[in-house]
């Protein structure tokens, strides 16, 4: 069974059909790319997958569970996490605390335990710290744990966003333009990290990207969106040489 199965997904804003008849099937452990020109509806698809927008039509199955139209929190608990096109870290919080916020649902103690600092508070916080540091190590941020997130250089902020998203222990990780604004070296490092995430955590990744070196470098399959419609899908090398795709990107 596929990890993510989306059938005939569509959404209208007033009279505007932003996304129409969108289908995608992603197998567990796949690195999947969603590409298309600006305004094609890629981020809108992410917003529907994460419950920020309620789709007008269609169904979304995650690991066989129907999550269509569920709230953001329910979908996060069901196992979808994401990063953002424009970085949305908790800027004034430390790097470590950013990750700890994302561990919220996996470590429990009551408000009263926190106020009274009962033994369970210290025990749970210690476990959370260990887990968060483990995530930071994967992204080579462990030395920066106590820094404020806004103080990190751009590339590290992007990595922290991935660490934070992974800390929610998702089944599917959505990356919205992870290489945006990165130089070629940073992009190459990022590609290694995305592969590492897949191999180490057995993660399935769906990413939106304009950087074709990243897309052709790591994505196994691609879906191309244009004006809210699917233009084509398939293996990366086949899609990138498709005349329709080239036309959509470069114009006539």
Instruction: Candidates 7, 57, 69, 93: give the one binding another protein (CB under 8 A).
Output: 93
Instruction: Candidates 39, 114, 184, 202: give the one binding another protein (CB under 8 A).
Output: 114
* Separation CA 148–CA 150 (nearest Å): 6
φ/ψ of residue 164, rounded to 5? -65, -45
Instruction: Candidates 1, 16, 38, 111: give the one binding another protein (CB under 8 A).
Output: 111
* Separation CA 129–CA 115 (nearest Å): 19
* Separation CA 182–CA 155 (nearest Å): 7
φ/ψ of residue 58, rounded to 5? 95, 175
Q: What mask of x and - would describe binding to another protein in positions 168 to 187, judged by CB under 8 A?
A: x-------------------
Nearer to another protein, 121 or 249 (CB): 121
**Which DSSP string corresponds to 207-240?**
EE---HHHHHHH-SEEEEEETTEEEEEEEHHHHH
The nearest distance, CB 243 to another protein, in angstroms, is 37
Kindly state the tokens that stand for 142: 């462990």
Residues near 17 by beta carbon (within 8 Å), at least 6 away in sequence: 10, 11, 228
Per CB under 8 A, 73 contacts another protein: yes
SS3 192: helix
Span of 24-32, 59-67, 103-111, 192-200 interacting with another protein by CB under 8 A: 103-111
Per CB under 8 A, 81 contacts another protein: yes
The nearest distance, CB 50 to another protein, in angstroms, is 6
Q: Kindly state the number of chain residues that form the binding site for another protein, as judged by CB under 8 A.
A: 34
Task: Give, for 73, the enclosing helix (H) or strand (E).
Answer: helix 72-78
Nearer to another protein, 114 or 202 (CB): 114
Nearer to another protein, 117 or 247 (CB): 117
8 Å CB contact between 132 and 96: yes
Instruction: Candidates 125, 142, 189, 220: give the one binding another protein (CB under 8 A).
Output: 125
Residues found near another protein in the complex (CB under 8 A): 50, 52, 72-73, 76-77, 81-82, 84, 88-93, 97, 100-102, 104-105, 107, 109, 111, 114-115, 121, 124-125, 128, 164-165, 167-168
């Amino acid at each position: 069974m596929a990890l993510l199965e989306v059938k005939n997904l569509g959404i209208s804003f007033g009279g505007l059909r932003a996304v129409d008849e969108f289908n995608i099937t992603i197998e567990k452990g796949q690195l999947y790319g969603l590409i298309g020109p600006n305004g094609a509806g890629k981020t809108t698809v992410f917003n529907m997958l994460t419950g920020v927008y309620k789709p007008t039509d269609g169904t979304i199955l995650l690991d066989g569970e129907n999550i269509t139209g569920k709230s953001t929190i329910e979908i996060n608990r069901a196992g979808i996490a994401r990063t953002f096109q424009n970085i949305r870290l908790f800027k004034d919080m430390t790097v470590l605390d950013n990750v700890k916020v994302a561990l919220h649902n996996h470590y429990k103690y009551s408000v009263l335990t926190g106020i009274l600092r009962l033994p369970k508070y210290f025990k749970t916080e210690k476990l959370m710290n260990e887990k968060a540091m483990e995530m930071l190590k994967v992204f080579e941020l462990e030395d920066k744990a106590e820094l404020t997130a806004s103080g990190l250089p751009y590339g590290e902020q992007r990595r922290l966003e991935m660490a934070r998203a992974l800390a929610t222990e998702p089944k599917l990780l959505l990356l919205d333009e992870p290489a945006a604004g990165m130089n070629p070296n940073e992009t190459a490092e990022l590609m290694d990290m995305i592969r590492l995430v897949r191999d180490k955590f057995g993660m399935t990744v769906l990413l939106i990207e304009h950087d074709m070196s990243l897309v052709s470098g790591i994505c196994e399959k691609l879906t191309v969106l244009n004006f809210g419609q699917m233009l084509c899908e398939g293996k990366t090398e086949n899609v990138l040489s498709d005349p329709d795709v080239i036309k959509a990107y470069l114009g006539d």
